[in-house]
Amino acid sequence: MTRPKIYLFGDSITESSFSLGGWGASLAHHFSRTADVVLRGYSGYNTRWALKVLERVFPASQGVDGGTAKAPLALTVFFGANDACLPDRCSAFQHVPLQEYKRNLHSIVSFFKKLWPTTLVLLITPPPIDEEARCRHPYVENPQGLPERTNNAAGEYAKACIAVAGEFGIPVVDIWNKMQQHPEWETYYLSDGLHLTESGNQVVFEEVITKLRDEGLSLESIPVDLPLINDIDPKDPLKAFLH
């Protein structure tokens, strides 16, 4: 058998999702006998750059007409944290205007819908921003001393992401809202005002498997790859391996 795949496509919060306690690693562990979780995270990228590389990351030969590779079960699209960098602050080169972000995200989803019509595309909003921590942890020189991202701006991009999901009728994980329900979300979920703590990773993992389950993708619905040890008869183990 060829195991089905789940792709994770996004920015640094996706690229780092296999670090200690990361949401990608947790997904891979959760589906350890059922699906391959494939990492396509590109630190620093926004939707404008993602659009530029889409066909290189997901070549047509993997798609519906072109090749032998089957459509993945699911794919997460998790961009917006970099698009939401403010245009007049130190990370301005990553900024993408809100309306362009929305168009770009729409184009990205359209691309996948055409390449893999049966694949569940799951959007994830950018996380909330702790502006105080962002002042303390700039990624580039920051002579202004101001946060390069604000929580309000991230919230506008989160809303746009949710709107795009609505246009396609696909699920979306709204972690911008979800995380802020915790009284100490700034430090409980975020390590540097943007990236995720182990608890933040856990929330994303749980929200993703909940949405996948809502759409019919769960350990109960995806076939297990080869007999489980508990299904092997200790009196005649090889019986389990007959075709």
Residues labelled as active-site residues: 12, 192, 195
Q: Which residue has the tokens 């990370």?
A: 91
Query: Does the protein bind a second copy through residue 23 (CB under 8 A)?
Result: no
Residue 220, helix vs strand vs coil: coil
Residue 15, helix vs strand vs coil: helix
Query: Does the protein bind a second copy through residue 166 (CB under 8 A)?
Result: no
Can you tell me the distance from the alpha carbon of 96 to that of 98, in angstroms, rounded to the nearest whole number? 6
Distance of closest approach, residue 199 Cβ to a second copy, in angstroms: 13
Query: Does the protein bind a second copy through residue 238 (CB under 8 A)?
Result: yes
Nearer to a second copy, 26 or 76 (CB): 26
Query: At residue 6, what are phi and psi to the nearest 5 degrees?
Result: -125, 115
Instruction: Using the rule CB under 8 A, give the single segment among 31-39, 147-155, 174-182, 214-222 that binds a second copy.
Output: 31-39
**Are the C-beta atoms of residues 126 and 80 closer than 8 Å to each other?**
yes
Helix 23-30 / helix 198-214 crossing angle, nearest 10 deg: 50
Nearer to a second copy, 23 or 185 (CB): 23
Q: Which residues of 115-150 are buried (b: 16+ CB within 10 A; e: fewer)?
A: bbeebbbbbbbbbbbbbebbeeebbeebeeeebbbb
Among 6, 13, 28, 109, interactor with a second copy by CB under 8 A: 28
| Cβ atoms < 10 Å from Cβ of 21 | 16
**Are the C-beta atoms of residues 196 and 13 closer than 8 Å to each other?**
yes
Query: Does the protein bind a second copy through residue 54 (CB under 8 A)?
Result: no
Query: At residue 74, what are phi and psi to the nearest 5 degrees?
Result: -155, 165
Query: At residue 200, what are phi and psi to the nearest 5 degrees?
Result: -65, -40
Instruction: Using the rule CB under 8 A, give the single segment among 53-61, 104-112, 152-160, 169-177 that binds a second copy.
Output: 53-61
Among 13, 23, 47, 49, interactor with a second copy by CB under 8 A: 49
Among positions 71-110, residues that touch a second copy (CB under 8 A) are 93-94
Nearer to a second copy, 163 or 226 (CB): 226
* Count, residues near a second copy per rule CB under 8 A: 47
Enumerate binding residues for a second copy (CB under 8 A): 1-2, 15-16, 18-22, 24-26, 28-29, 32-33, 36, 38-39, 41-45, 48-49, 52-53, 56-57, 59, 61, 67-68, 93-94, 140, 225-226, 228-229, 232, 234-235, 237-238, 241
